[in-house]
């Protein structure tokens, strides 16, 4: 078994900070997406993950120091509460390239259509390759990291999605897409299997326990197994993730658990206070935004009523459903200029 690169405590140049500088902002709204990208965007950790699943015939050909994160994502924004993705590129020793696509799957149960979804992501990646460099294409190897909570008990092969007629299977197969993905199933993850990489061991344990909604059990485990090799950057990211998930936060209980490690306790209390302050600021900002939107909606309706004596209920409901200040500003100007309600409605 190979030994991965060592984490450097207090390293001010942590690659994860550079790869995902907006972690603290996004972890509150999309905690799983934000933490996965922060924790696994470091090529050293990604290498450990990939090499644990690749056959030696592939792994030995990759020049791992060239592994580099690409600034691409292929998961729709509205799906990022349960999914996140990372794309890496590396050179082989013969100078050919490979790409490694890592998809975090956090749905409550396994998705039987996963190979089909991955095919769509593959097509998007290959199209991006073609748009940039034409041909030849760079092979893409996919990895699915299943966060749980139910075990992944479905196929990893695209070909298994077909029910081919007997007697013609071998004739049809060459005409159909055929690939598989490598699976990391955290429901079956055991921390001792990753003892050669303390950082990744702790990250995967947290991701597993987060989906089981048992953050207290993770913190208890962390206190017992704490290792100085974990950087302060990673510790703060993990604790921020924990506190963002565990709402409402029982700080007294968390503080009691962390008493066994004063360093962790101090970090957690500092982050909790920061999140509390940011939450209050976010609430104030949200209140100001909602007040502005309500005032702009009323302004549009007042102009329409003043000019045309009435505002049909359907039109009123439509305007009150609009929350974009720029669109409401445009509608206010249209309300002033429109020759009729029908003319105004054309701008909706």
Q: Give the pLDDT band of residue 348 (cuts 50, 70, 90).
A: confident
**Exposed e or buried b for every residue in 178-206, given b needs 16+ CB within 10 A?**
ebebbbbbbbebeeeebeebbbbbbbbbb
For residues 227 and 96, the model is more confident at 96
Q: Give the pLDDT band of residue 282 (cuts 50, 70, 90).
A: low
Region 270-274: mean pLDDT is 77
Residues in CB range of 109: below 8 A, 6 or more apart:
150
Residue with tokens 């691409």: 72
- 83, pLDDT greater than 80: no
Weakest mean pLDDT among 18-27, 111-120, 153-162, 335-344: 18-27
- If residue 140 lies in a helix (H) or strand (E), which one and from where to where? strand 140-146
- 6, pLDDT greater than 50: no
Q: Give the pLDDT band of residue 72 (cuts 50, 70, 90).
A: confident
pTM: 0.73
Alpha helices in the chain (DSSP H): 15-19, 23-26, 31-40, 43-51, 56-59, 114-133, 169-172, 198-211, 215-225, 232-245, 251-258, 262-308, 313-320, 325-337, 341-345
SS3 state at 180: strand
pLDDT of residue 3: 39
pLDDT of residue 202: 95
Measure the CA–CA gap between 99 and 68, rounded to whole angstroms: 9
Q: Give the pLDDT band of residue 13 (cuts 50, 70, 90).
A: very low
């Amino acid at each position: 078994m190979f030994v991965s690169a060592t984490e450097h405590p207090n390293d001010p140049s942590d690659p994860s900070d550079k790869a995902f500088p907006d972690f603290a902002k996004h972890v509150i709204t999309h905690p799983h997406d934000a933490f996965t990208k922060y924790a696994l965007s470091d090529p050293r950790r990604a290498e450990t993950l990939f090499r644990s699943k690749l056959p030696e015939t592939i792994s030995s050909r990759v020049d791992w120091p060239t592994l580099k994160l690409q600034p691409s994502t292929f998961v729709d924004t509205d799906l990022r509460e349960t999914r996140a993705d990372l794309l890496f590129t590396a050179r082989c020793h013969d100078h050919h390239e490979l790409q490694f696509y890592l998809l975090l799957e956090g749905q409550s149960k396994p998705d039987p259509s996963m190979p089909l979804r991955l095919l769509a992501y593959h097509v998007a990646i290959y199209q991006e390759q073609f748009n940039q460099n034409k041909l030849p294409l760079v092979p893409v190897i996919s990895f699915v990291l299943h966060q749980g909570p139910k075990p992944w008990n479905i196929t990893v092969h695209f070909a298994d999605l077909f029910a081919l007629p007997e007697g013609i299977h071998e004739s049809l197969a060459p005409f159909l897409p055929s690939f598989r993905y490598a699976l990391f199933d955290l429901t079956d993850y055991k921390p001792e299997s990753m003892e050669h990489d303390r950082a990744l061991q702790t990250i995967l344990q947290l991701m597993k326990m987060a989906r089981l909604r048992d953050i207290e059990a993770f913190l208890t485990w962390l206190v017992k197994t704490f290792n100085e090799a974990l950087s302060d950057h990673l510790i703060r990211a993990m604790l921020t993730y924990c506190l963002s998930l565990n709402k409402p936060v029982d700080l007294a209980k968390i503080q009691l658990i962390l008493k066994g490690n004063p360093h962790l306790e101090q970090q957690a209390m500092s982050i909790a206070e920061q999140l509390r302050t940011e939450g209050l600021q976010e609430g104030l900002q949200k209140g100001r935004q909602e007040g502005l939107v309500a005032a702009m909606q009323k302004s549009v309706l007042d102009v329409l009523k003043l000019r045309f004596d009435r505002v049909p209920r359907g039109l009123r409901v439509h305007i009150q459903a609009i929350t974009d200040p720029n669109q409401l500003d445009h509608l206010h100007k249209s309300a002033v200029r429109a020759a009729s309600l029908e003319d105004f409605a054309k701008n909706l």
